[in-house]
Amino acid sequence: MIVARVEPSSLGIVRVIHEDGSEEFVANHRIRWIRDADGRDRTSYVLDRGKSLGDAPVSIRYAARRASRTLRGSPLPTRKSFPVIQAGLLARLDRDQDHPSDHPVSMMLDLGGMKNVTERWSAGWSLCFAGDEDFSRLGTKVRFRRWLGPAIAIDAAPGILFAKDISSYGSHYLPGFVGELGVSFGDWVSVTAQMEASRRERYYFYRQAGWFEGVSRLEGRTEVSWYFGGKFGGEAAIVGTFGTLLLAMILAGGVSPTF
């Protein structure tokens, strides 16, 4: 292939500029050789010494890129965009004021998508669901990812949350805030911390001493809760989700496994 210019980078990627002005990014390990307009081999000059070559036509040969079929994310130039599929378990670290004896473990599920804006940054969104024995939460997050390498990344995701106390009669979903911070390893697994600030309302019956009649009163407050745990991503999240549901059905007696 004849191109106009090649420019190496410290990330193990070569920027290839074509004669029509278009460009693409090629990983170093996929390049077989680079030659200048006179036919001299300049592969070591570009890849080992980190020198740019071009303006005059340059001959470069590299393996054709194959389309990625995985559901896991990767930075540029491997992928331009990727789905967000995460499922896992997060344990609550603090005590619930309404259920002080509980330290529930929440099942978390995030579904959405992200786009690689640069070689280091990605942005996107996701829908989220979380549930435990006391509360169910629904919401949406704006997601940001900072790639530290080809496989390791830091995720930050603030968003809006609607929480409901499923153990309280007559409760309904109330708005709140959710913030997530995690470290992803190959999008196979991530270590995640999450904070939730949600509105809680509780109805109670109040009667003064000596009175036969009482009134119903509403008590409202905002509760902040902290969670920590892990999530699976991509194909592992799908397998883990179905495996968890199957195990729950077996433990509940809904399915009788046959061996």
Contacts of 203 (CB under 8 A, 6+ apart): 170, 216, 217, 218, 219
Given this model, what pLDDT does residue 56 score?
55
Predicted confidence at residue 255, as pLDDT, reads 46
130 to 91, 127, 248: CA distances (angstroms): 11, 11, 16
pTM of the model: 0.65
User: At which residue do the structure tokens 């259920």 appear?
Assistant: 99
What string of pLDDT tens digits covers the 259 residues of the chain?
Answer: 787 888 887 678 888 888 776 778 888 888 888 888 888 888 888 888 888 888 755 665 665 556 567 889 989 888 899 999 999 999 999 877 666 556 678 889 999 999 999 989 999 999 999 988 778 899 999 999 999 988 899 999 999 999 887 766 656 778 899 999 999 999 999 999 999 998 876 655 555 555 555 555 556 678 899 999 999 999 999 988 887 778 667 766 644 445 4
State the pLDDT at residue 259. 47
Domain ranges for the chain, please list them. 2-62, 81-251
Domain range 81-251, its CATH number among 2.40.30, 2.40.160, 3.90.79, 3.40.50: 2.40.160
Tokens of 1: 């292939």
* Torsional sign, CA 235, 236, 238, 239: positive
Q: Which long-range CB contacts under 8 A does 40-46 form with residues at least 24 apart?
A: 46/6, 46/8, 46/14
Torsion of CA 97, 98, 103, 107, to 10 degrees: -120
Rounded (to 5) percent helix, strand, coil in the chain? 10, 55, 35
